[in-house]
Each structure stands twice: as structure tokens, then as C-alpha cells.
Chains A and B, each alone.
Chain A
Amino acid sequence: MSSQADTQIAEVAREGPAPLPTPCVAGQRRSLRAQLVRDWPLIAMTAPAALLILVFHYVPTLGNVIAFQDYNPFMGKDAFDAFVHSDWIGFSNFETLFDDSAFWDAVRNTLSITLFQLVFFFPLPIILAILLSEVTSTRLRNFVQSVAYLPHFFSWVLVITFFVQMLGGAGLVAQELRRHGLPTWDVMTNPSTFIVLVTSEAVWKDVGWGTIIFLAALAGIDPSLYEAAAVDGAGRWRRLWHVTLPGIRPVVVLLLILRLGDALSVGFEQYILQREAVGRQAAEVLDTYVYYQAIIPQQWGLGAAAGLFKAAIGLGLILTANKLAHRLGEQGVYSSQ
């Protein structure tokens, strides 16, 4: 998930805000009308996708204005009618939100998890990729890669199920300990180790998948650099330090910045699935807060305010990260191509 999301954002970083050069040479430009006659099939082809985006992305994005309303779905005959008839109440939803200590708990949990995973998850795919790239047997490497990618395709329900069955109170490990008369513990319901648990689950699911982008970067390092370093007397560790790490540095830096830009999103299903088992104190993140404090009690305005807060901070972080990425010269990122 995370690598895919990172690539998404990388794509925006390169293509979104920056204006593309116009390929038309003066004098060759046809009249707009002629262009339209020629290209209308292409435009029509984008229509179904554009419609989906409009209905399920842009309409709800604009719908966030109910954050400034006392939105009540029963005020009208449909959602839009209700919106027209609901009262405008200014920033009162935001005041309620910012006065709610549970909201700040959720913000703090989210940021702690992001930071923890940055330290204990982020480096692992790099290490694994370097290890894999040193395996000389192609068959062995392909086998390990195939196995390691697999959990990326499991749902969160499955991932957590595997953890429950292995490490939970009735899982395999506890059952073997009990059989030998040893004390058991249940990591699946322990709030104080929850941050380690969710990180382990994320590692299990995505560490293999995360290696793809680093393997590509490693493959892009000029082999003659290694040879030159070896001839100059550099051993394995020095080559790792002076050739490998600088070679993948642009990718590492970019992914790091992009992850920071996405700091308020730690994933959703993983937390909603475990919140009941672990309790709100440890497992409430921003997204689950919205679900439990807004959707279930139907506090629509409050939920929209929390969503808007997250989106605004997220947009600011992404734009800042983008700027940083551009400044660091991100054209080096996919240099393996």
C-alpha cells in the first residue's frame, strides 16, 4: 500500500502542478474548431471516468462545507435539499472538535504511529532490498521475492487474522507456551504494545512489496563504480557506504519526504479492525475518530470538520513535501530507467 501511494504522489510531484511544455509550434496550431472535430472521440472516452470522479470525488469534496452547518439529513427530501435547508453555524463545529480531548488523543496517536513507523518500518525494505540484490542465484532471489510480495495482496482482515491465530491469546504461540506451563500474554489486546503490533503487521504485509522501488534503484547503480571502488581497495562495507547508499539516496530522500507529507494517514482498516480489541486510548487514529464520533452518532457537521482539518493539513504537508522534493532534484529518483 504505502509504496503504491508513494508512487502516486511521486507522479503528482512530477506531473501535477508543474506546467507541461506546449508541444505546438507557432503556425502549426490548427484552429480550435478543427482540433475539436478531430479530437472529440478522445474527449468522449474520458467522460465515464470524469463522471465517476465528479460524483464520488469532487461532489463530496465540495460537500465538506457542511462542516460550517448544523447539517440535518431530515431537513429536506434528499441530501442536497437537506443541505440547502440546514442552518449555517459558522465555526461552531470546529470549536466542538478542538475542545474534544478525544480528538487530540487521535491526532497524537496518529502522529506517534507515523513517527514510530518512520524509524522502525521505513528502513526495512531498504535493508531487505540490499540483501536481495546480493543474492547471486537468480532462482533463489526470485523465490524469496515472490514469497515476500505475497502478503501485500492480503486484506487487512486476513493479516490481522493471521496475527490473531499466531500471536493472539488463543493463538499458536500462546498455546505452545501454555502446554509447557509457561506464562502467556495476548499482544492483540494489549494497548501499551499496540504501536509495535501495528508496525509488525504493516511490516509483515508490505516489507517485501516495499523492496520493489529500492531494487529498481539498486539496479540503476553503475556496476563500474563498484569495480573501481574494489580496485581502490574498498571492502564490502565501504562499498555499501560509499557506492550503494549514495546511489539510492535520491529515492530514499524522496520517499521519506512523501511519507512525511502523508503523516496524518496511517491506514484505516487496520485500526478500525483492532480498535475494539485494544481500546480507544491506543488505537484511535484520525480516521477512526471520524467514524466513531461522527458517522455512528450521525454528527455530520463535526465529522466533516474533522475531515476538513485533516485534508487541509494534509494538503499543506504534501505541497511542502513537493517543494522539497523538487528542490532536491527528483529527476534522479527513477534513474534506474
Chain B
Amino acid sequence: MSRARSIQPSLDVPSRPAWEEEPSLAARLVKGAILAAVVLAVLFPMWSVLVTSLASRITINDAGGMVVIPREIDLSAFATIFSGGQVMRALLVSVFVTVVGTSVSMFVTVLAAYGLSRPTSFGHRPILFYFLLTFLVYPGLVPSYLVVAGLGLKDSLWALIAPSALSVFNLVVVRAFFMSIPADLIDAATIDGAGEWRIMMQIVLPLSKAVLAVVALFYAVGYWNAYFNAVLYIDDNDKWPIQRVLQSYILAGQSPHVTGVPIALPGITAYPPTLAIKMAVVVVTVLPAVLVYPFVQRHFTKGVIVGAVKG
């Protein structure tokens, strides 16, 4: 992994060099305030949502809505959404789409990236061009919709996977990393009689764990967060993913301008969900990203930059 690390730009500046003057107190305060504001702007809403999801009805009534200072931990909102019904179903749908989708995407992406990692191979340039051209010419919404619908994928979970299964950007990132692996390693394996599949599985992939982790995270986040595909292709609300359900719980009907049909919320209740339940849905929607994030976060710079380095 040392070569991977050498690609990552060093952001580490040691302590202040001798020639640099100490910043004034005012400058420090201003900088500190800006950075604190950035951190707070992200963490405070998340905190308030979490605390509200764990608050009892009385606490929410006393606060008049969103709660900031926790008084107790009341898990009844989570008990309600996990006891079955729409949210539970939507979570299972989203988990299925994310797990299956990410597996399919990684399989397709890694294979293609490996296939394109040898610039002297047969047909390399036209095939690469075939993929890169997608950045310049793209279909509009209408033909894409007609193709997916024409394939009979409406109301199928595959409509949430297949159209977005390959990101050419991710393909380029993985390919660039594969190309940075020394050719000697691969030549040696070829001389020892290893085929392409074996070289990929036993030499290239083990050396690429970091970049594969980042790309898998990008894919997984994409699948988990996808909202509009479900609006387009999934009419059956038993098959809605979690983002679609969250939208119907919180954003639909928030304003007088709404013209759409009010969305019934089958499963949970006949009465509108309480604030605590709404916030509990937000928490379970945020949670996967927050949980996976720390493990992959340190590789981001590489994941974002490396695709651009080679070329």
C-alpha cells in the first residue's frame, strides 16, 4: 500500500515554520469562529433530529416541536417503525437494492477496469473511447424512461439497479489505479503461466483494496440515496425505497401550494405520523452513511484525485 500512499498528496504541514509570524488574536478568533460554524452547521441539525426522535410526546409538546436538550430516551418511535409497516418494508427494499446493486456494480466495474488497464492490448483505444464518449453525449430523461419501461422494468427493483449499475467515472478511477500497479508484477505472473482472471484476482485486486473500498462506498451511497428513479419507475408503494418514503412522510404536504394527491401512508397508522416517528425515519435514513463513513473517509482524497492523475 505504500505506493498508494505516495499518490495521496500530503496535506500534513508540520508545526509553524520559523519564518512565519504568529497570527494575531483577532485573526485566530475569526478563523476559529468560521470553522466552529461549519462544524456546528453540520452537527447541530443532526443532533436535534436525533434528540427529537428519542423524545417522548410530552417533551416534544413542551418544546413546541423540535427538541434540542434531551430529557429522556424514549425508543417508542423506533419501536413503531421497526414493528413492521411501510418504513420497515422500505428499509428492506433499500438494503436489498444497495447490497445487490453495489455487488453488481463492483463486479462490472472491476472487470471492465481490468480489461482496459493494458494500453497496448487489442482494441484498447476504441473500447476506451466507447466508454469515455458517455461523458459528452448523454440521453435525456424521456428516452431513458422509455427504454427502462420498454424492458418491462417498471415496478421492478431492477429498475433501481440496472440503469445506474455502471458509473464510467468510477470505472476510470479504478482503471487508473490498476494502471499504476507495476507492469513487472503482471509480466512475472504471465511468465509463470497465470491467466488474466488469476492475475486480476490474486495480484491486482489485493493491491487495490483502498480504491475498491472508496468506489464501493460511492456506489453504495448512490443506491441508498437514489430517490428520483423510484418516482419514475416504482408506482407500487410496497416497493418504495426509504428515500421515497421519507419524502412522503416529511416533504409532501408541507406547504399550501401542494397540488398533488395527498399520499396515504399505509402500514403505520391512519393518523399522520408523529414528529418523533418522522425524525426516527430520518435517523434510520442517515445512519448507514454515518456508520460506514469513518472507515472509508481517509481514502477520499485518493479516490477523488487519483482518477485525474493518470492520463
A interface, CB within 8 angstroms of B: 3-4, 7-12, 14-16, 20, 23-24, 32, 35-36, 38-46, 48-50, 52-53, 55-57, 59-61, 63-64, 66, 73, 78-80, 128, 131-136, 138, 140-141, 143-144, 146-151, 153-158, 160-162, 164-166, 168-172, 175, 178-179, 186, 188-189, 204, 207-208, 212-213, 215-216, 219-220, 223, 226-227, 230-231, 235-236, 268-269, 272-274, 276-279, 287, 290-291, 294-295, 300, 303-304, 306-308, 310-311, 314-315, 318-319, 333-334, 336-337
Interface residues on B, range: 35 or more
Bound: A104/B10 CA distance, A:
47
Bound: A135/B11 CA distance, A:
11
Judge if B49 is at the interface, Cβ distance under 8 Å.
yes
The answer to whether B300 and A46 touch across the interface, beta carbons within 8 angstroms, is: no
Judge if B260 is at the interface, Cβ distance under 8 Å.
yes
The answer to whether A64 and B135 touch across the interface, beta carbons within 8 angstroms, is: no
Do A56 and B115 form a contact, CB below 8 Å, given A11-B308, A178-B64, A306-B140? no
A49 surroundings in chain B (CB, below 8 A): 108-109, 111-112, 131, 166, 171
Bound: A152/B128 CA distance, A:
29
Q: Which listed residue (B13, B121, B141) contacts A291, Cβ 8 A?
A: B141
Q: How far is the CB of A177 from chain B (nearest CB, A)?
A: 11
The answer to whether B19 and A52 touch across the interface, beta carbons within 8 angstroms, is: no
Q: How far is the CB of B264 from chain A (nearest CB, A)?
A: 17
The answer to whether B38 and A148 touch across the interface, beta carbons within 8 angstroms, is: yes
Bound: A143/B232 CA distance, A:
39
Do A131 and B246 form a contact, CB below 8 Å, given A7-B307, A10-B308, A39-B121? no
Q: How far is the CB of A17 from chain B (nearest CB, A)?
A: 8
Q: How far is the CB of A109 from chain B (nearest CB, A)?
A: 16
Majority SS at the chain B contact face: helix
The answer to whether B19 and A227 touch across the interface, beta carbons within 8 angstroms, is: yes
Interface residues as binary, B1-19 with A (CB distance below 8 Å gives 1, 0 otherwise):
0000001011111011101
B107 surroundings in chain A (CB, below 8 A): 48
Do A168 and B254 form a contact, CB below 8 Å, given A42-B115, A290-B141? yes
B293 surroundings in chain A (CB, below 8 A): 146, 150, 153
Bound: A23/B179 CA distance, A:
15
Do A39 and B123 form a contact, CB below 8 Å, given A16-B133, A134-B31, A215-B11? yes
Closest Cβ neighbor of A18 among chain B residues: B311
Interface residues as binary, B54-69 with A (CB distance below 8 Å gives 1, 0 otherwise):
0000000001111010
Do A277 and B149 form a contact, CB below 8 Å, given A144-B35, A147-B38, A151-B42? no
30 contacting pairs across A/B (C-beta < 8 A): A4-B304, A12-B132, A16-B132, A16-B136, A32-B122, A38-B122, A39-B121, A41-B115, A41-B197, A42-B116, A42-B196, A53-B134, A128-B38, A146-B297, A147-B38, A148-B42, A154-B286, A155-B225, A155-B226, A157-B285, A175-B64, A178-B64, A212-B305, A278-B257, A287-B141, A290-B140, A295-B232, A300-B146, A303-B140, A311-B138
The answer to whether B136 and A334 touch across the interface, beta carbons within 8 angstroms, is: no
The answer to whether B17 and A223 touch across the interface, beta carbons within 8 angstroms, is: yes
The answer to whether A8 and B258 touch across the interface, beta carbons within 8 angstroms, is: no
Closest Cβ neighbor of A207 among chain B residues: B38
Q: How many A-B residue pairs have CB under 8 A?
A: 359
The answer to whether A9 and B142 touch across the interface, beta carbons within 8 angstroms, is: no
B147 surroundings in chain A (CB, below 8 A): 55-56, 59-60, 63, 79
Bound: A34/B84 CA distance, A:
61
Bound: A42/B250 CA distance, A:
48
B226 surroundings in chain A (CB, below 8 A): 155
B128 surroundings in chain A (CB, below 8 A): 15
A189 surroundings in chain B (CB, below 8 A): 254-257
The answer to whether A269 and B257 touch across the interface, beta carbons within 8 angstroms, is: no
Interface residues as binary, B144-182 with A (CB distance below 8 Å gives 1, 0 otherwise):
111111110000000000110110110110000000000
A311 surroundings in chain B (CB, below 8 A): 137-140
A154 surroundings in chain B (CB, below 8 A): 225, 286, 289
A318 surroundings in chain B (CB, below 8 A): 136
Please give me the 3 A-B residue pairs with the lowest Cβ-Cβ distance, nearest first: A307-B140, A79-B150, A45-B115
The answer to whether A44 and B142 touch across the interface, beta carbons within 8 angstroms, is: no
The answer to whether A276 and B257 touch across the interface, beta carbons within 8 angstroms, is: yes
The answer to whether B45 and A162 touch across the interface, beta carbons within 8 angstroms, is: yes
Closest Cβ neighbor of B107 among chain A residues: A48
Q: How far is the CB of A313 from chain B (nearest CB, A)?
A: 12
Judge if B247 is at the interface, Cβ distance under 8 Å.
yes
The answer to whether A7 and B143 touch across the interface, beta carbons within 8 angstroms, is: no
Bound: A157/B228 CA distance, A:
10
B300 surroundings in chain A (CB, below 8 A): 149, 212
Give chain B interface residues in 30-45, CB to chain A under 8 Å. Answer: 31, 34-35, 38-39, 41-43, 45
Q: How far is the CB of B204 from chain A (nearest CB, A)?
A: 12
The answer to whether A175 and B66 touch across the interface, beta carbons within 8 angstroms, is: yes
Closest Cβ neighbor of A79 among chain B residues: B150
The answer to whether B138 and A165 touch across the interface, beta carbons within 8 angstroms, is: no
Judge if B191 is at the interface, Cβ distance under 8 Å.
no
Judge if B130 is at the interface, Cβ distance under 8 Å.
yes
Q: How far is the CB of A82 from chain B (nearest CB, A)?
A: 9
A144 surroundings in chain B (CB, below 8 A): 35, 38-39
